[in-house]
Amino acid sequence: NSGGSGILHGVVGSQMTIKVLDSHGVQQTPTIGEIKAAIPAHCFKHSPSKAFGLVVRDGLIMAALLSVALAVLPLPGGPDSPLNVLHWLGWALYGFAQGTAATGWWVLAHECGHGAFTQNRGINDCVGWVLHSALLVPYFAWQSTHAKHHSKTNHLLDGESHVPDTKEDLTKLGFAWAHRMIGDDAFAVVELFNHLVLGWPLYLFFNVTGGRRLKGQPLEKPFVGLVDHFRPNSPLFSDKLRPRIYLSTLGIMITLAALGMAAQRFGAAPVMVCYVVPYFFCNSWLVLYTWLQHTDPSLPHYGESDWNWVKGALCTIDRPYTFFDWFHHHIGSTHVCHHLFSMLPCYNAVEATKHLKAFLQPRGLYKYDATPWPLAAWQVAKHCHFVEGVEGTQYYKSFSSMQEGSTGKKQD
């Protein structure tokens, strides 16, 4: 077809794929209006009763978990100390369960930041500030940088959150040498630790995994100095955002003060097992979602010339999270929809995703990976280490593939 566009039909499994090509044989990306038309209008409507119902639901779950733990487990540092192994295992299980439940509040505050909680911005910001502050998240600071993540998804220069490092960057920092020394599996364990344990605080304090440009100026990756989410004069924020950054940090200080008073009243060890351990599990869930939804060997990342907003938003993967999906308001299994329509409420996202999938999948544009999430995290940690550069269209590669290329054979 020498003029206009052509249509290419193919069969993938039992699914018919229809790719619309332009006159140069390049697949055309549908407009956001065309995609939105595939979703029923009622999916975009807000329901304050549903939104606040979810806040109450998650709060009751967290209260129940704490009540049960305090009823059946002795507190460390109390009259029943020292605790035995079963007691510590019980507190570890509580920490995971409570951190998992608290991630529900994290997601709802995230909804507030997007304007997806209710139609009222003031209500959204009040609820989001309270919930995120309780989880030691600087709400307005995060809201600002997260908006950049959505506006520049999978952009190699201006993206935000899990922007790929280049091979050159990581080689300079010794990561290639470390991979050779400890091997593929041990390096994957290090990657998991770096992301799930260190990733969130490193992002908040140093903007690690942030973009390569800030206010139009290039940054050295991955460590760019004290580019933090707490100071009103941080390079991350414009002057007009300073009052909001003050409020964000005030929320953090209030929560820290409350934790300090609790430690003084009950002891540091009870605060550690009741709040701090769940806090770290909550952080791990947060990073796991943002990492896995935007990272895969098959997922493209775009340089300046190849990127556009719809292409970037479509470079998102939905994954199954079993029953955890319910606790986390389906943020991982409806993430494609979320990146295309971030103001669509999470309580309508499951229905919207069904229609979105019906529109995008036949065109080869809906990305879904059925791999169980623990295995998916392991595969990403092993196979997604760097990109070759920041121009054109890039795909993640691993240090193993680099070694295979240099030796001509696979490394055992």
Task: State the amino acid at position 320 in one-letter form.
Answer: P
pLDDT at 210: 87
Distance CA 353, CA 224 (A): 37
What DSSP element (H or E) covers 393?
strand 393-395
Task: State the amino acid at position 297 in one-letter form.
Answer: P
Regions in the chain scoring below 50 on pLDDT = 1-26, 406-412
Q: What number of H helices and E strands is found in the chain? A: 18, 6
pLDDT at 224: 61
Q: Which segments of 135-276 does DSSP mark as H helices, in order?
A: 139-151, 167-172, 175-182, 184-193, 199-206, 242-266, 268-271
pLDDT at 8: 34
Distance CA 218, CA 216 (A): 7
pLDDT (tens digit per residue) in 54-79: 999 999 999 999 999 999 999 998 88
- In angstroms and rounded to an integer, the radius of gyration of the C-alpha atoms of the chain is 23
Distance CA 49, CA 39 (A): 22
pLDDT at 1: 34
pLDDT at 90: 97
pLDDT at 255: 98
Predicted TM-score of the model (pTM): 0.89
Distance CA 208, CA 218 (A): 14
pLDDT (tens digit per residue) in 198-249: 999 999 999 888 888 888 788 776 666 678 999 999 999 999 999 999 999 9
Long-range pairs for 403-407 at CB < 8 Å and ≥24 separation? Answer: 403/180
pLDDT at 158: 93
pLDDT at 27: 57
Q: Which of 402, 346, 396, 398 is nearest to 164 (CA)?
A: 396
Distance CA 237, CA 218 (A): 16
Name the 3-class secondary structure at 37: coil
